[in-house]
Amino acid sequence: MSTSGSVLQVGPLKPSLAKTLADDYAARTLPESSAERAAFLAEHGADVTAVVTSGRTGVDAGLIAALPNLGAVINFGVGYDTTDVEAAAARGVGVSNTPDVLTDCVADTAVGLLIDTLRQFSASDRYVRAGRWPVDGSYPLTRQVSNTRVGIIGLGRIGSAIAHRLTAFGCTISYHNRHQVPDAPYAYAASPVDLAGGVDVLVVAAAGGDGTRGLVSAAVLDAIGPQGYLVNIARGSVVDQEALVSALVNGRLAGAGLDVFADEPKVPEELFALDNVVLLPHVASGTVQTRAAMEALTLRNLDSFLATGALVTPV
């Protein structure tokens, strides 16, 4: 295990992981207030060799600079766009994440969101609970899921798992990626606009970060069109949220299923009244089984780094 103070927790973590870090690794926690943080870093910054954080918090260039002996940023989560990977690389600091272990649950969530959005099950549930069925009669007809055309932005581990599931629904799958995926059995689109123009549902499964910021632009949303739907289980930053809200409010999109937002936990209030929009609080990987596997892999990365200087799943 580590020497006292060599492990630093940055931001909130799963309670059992935070407890293990404190109990078994004598980890300190970085204070949240800037004044306390500056004092803490002045006193303890040189002791820290490993940081454990999450994709919601991350480690920026300023914090990397304040930790002169940092060797690794260990990220609980598959997304690491909140960590300045370039600044880490420039300092020779390794960064790890927790890939694979959350693929199934995130893909399940994407399919669940797609079904709920097209069939409006959440809205139908509210309809029943509000006592409207006996008064207003049958719920309006909705959109079939099977045999629809689905475009996926980002055909990595998660995107491929989504495609695999939707193939069983008889959906026609196409995708856009930075590079065409060799041997992928799906049609490739050269741009997000090209992809969006030929599908009924666009699913966003791309990594976050500056390289994909605003990738789903107003032009892409317009290409999906008033009969089409958007599902996002990636990062809020990948979609132009202002353009998305405008398209939904003004009927230029048929609906959206969203697990992520640009400024979490804030969600645009204009969406609250729309029955064609399903809003989830970033729960795609939020199952007991997946979070336990993520925690175990996080600790494996930490143990490996402290013992050998190498990470199990470097990014």
Q: What are φ and ψ of residue 187, in 5° steps?
A: -70, 140
Catalytically active residues, by annotation: 235, 264, 282
Gap between the Cα atoms of 286 and 105, Å rounded: 8
Q: How far is residue 153's CA from residue 203's CA, in Å, rounded to a whole number?
A: 6
* pLDDT per position as a tens digit, 88-134: 999 999 999 999 999 999 999 999 999 999 999 999 999 999 999 99
Fold of 7-99+289-308: Rossmann fold (3.40.50)
Work out the pLDDT band at 5, boundaries 50, 70, 90. Answer: low
Letter for the amino acid at 201? V
All CATH 3.40.50.720 domain ranges of the chain, comma separated, are 7-99+289-308, 103-279
3: pLDDT strictly greater than 90: no
**What pTM was estimated for this model as a whole?**
0.89
Q: How confident is the model at residue 1 (pLDDT cuts 50, 70, 90)?
A: very low
Q: Residues 208-232: what's their mean pLDDT?
A: 96
**Each residue's pLDDT tens digit, 256-306:** 999 999 999 999 999 999 999 999 999 999 999 999 999 999 999 999 999
Q: Phi and psi at residue 286, in whole multiples of 5°? A: -85, 60
Q: What is the mean pLDDT of residues 165-182?
A: 97
Give the separation between CA 229 and CA 113, rounded to whole angstroms: 11
Nearest to 208 by CA among 91, 46, 75, 79: 79
E strand intervals along the chain: 7-9, 28-29, 50-54, 72-76, 94-96, 149-153, 172-176, 187-188, 201-204, 229-232, 255-258, 277-279
Question: 3-state DSSP helix/strand/coil percent for the chain, to nearest 5?
Answer: 40, 15, 45
pLDDT at position 209: 86
Evaluate if residue 86 carries a pLDDT over 90. Answer: yes
Residue 56 has what pLDDT?
87
Answer yes or no: is pLDDT of 70 > 70.
yes
**Mean pLDDT across the chain, nearest whole number?**
96
| Closest of 265, 267, 266, 216 to residue 237, by C-alpha | 216
d(CA 78, CA 312): 14
* pLDDT tens per residue across span 56-67: 899 999 999 999
What is the 8-class DSSP label of residue 200?
A: S
Report how far residue 220's alpha carbon sits from residue 197's, in angstroms, rounded to the nearest whole number. Answer: 8
Per-residue pLDDT at 201? 98
CATH topology of domain 103-279: Rossmann fold (3.40.50)
* SS3 at position 72: strand
